[in-house]
């Protein structure tokens, strides 16, 4: 028998009444009828850049709580990772500063 997953993650929409409808079955959790679940809701979705960097919602939440920053600032900061590496002038100045 296949082990149940601990969690599933997917995007869901909020309708005009403010209700969320799940767009994905959670059968892979192997829950029995009547079992209780815990749901975390994060506003917005991860950008393609953050997905490429393998950033998770949990990491964003943890960084935000630790640094007392809101979600959008954390996401902007993480998405900028490596942005200056393409700037040759910046890279050469940094190498001289470190040397």
Tens digit of each residue's pLDDT (9 = 90 or more) over 35-84: 888 887 777 778 888 888 888 888 888 888 888 888 888 888 888 877 66
pTM of the predicted structure, to 2 decimals = 0.52
Determine the Cα–Cα distance for residues 37 and 5; give it in Å rounded to an integer.
13
SS3 assignment for 77-96:
HHHCCCHHHHCHHHHHHHHH
Residue 89: pLDDT band with limits 50, 70, 90 = confident
| Residue 2, pLDDT score | 63
In the prediction, which pLDDT does 52 show? 82
């Amino acid at each position: 028998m296949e082990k149940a997953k601990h969690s599933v993650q997917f995007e869901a929409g909020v309708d005009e009444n403010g209700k969320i409808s799940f767009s994905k079955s959670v059968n892979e959790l192997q829950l029995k009828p009547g079992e209780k679940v815990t749901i975390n809701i994060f506003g917005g979705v991860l950008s393609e850049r953050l997905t490429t960097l393998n950033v998770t919602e949990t990491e964003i939440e943890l960084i935000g709580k630790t640094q007392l920053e809101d979600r959008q600032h954390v996401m902007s900061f993480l998405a900028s990772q490596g942005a200056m590496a393409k700037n040759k002038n910046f890279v050469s100045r940094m190498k001289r500063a470190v040397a």
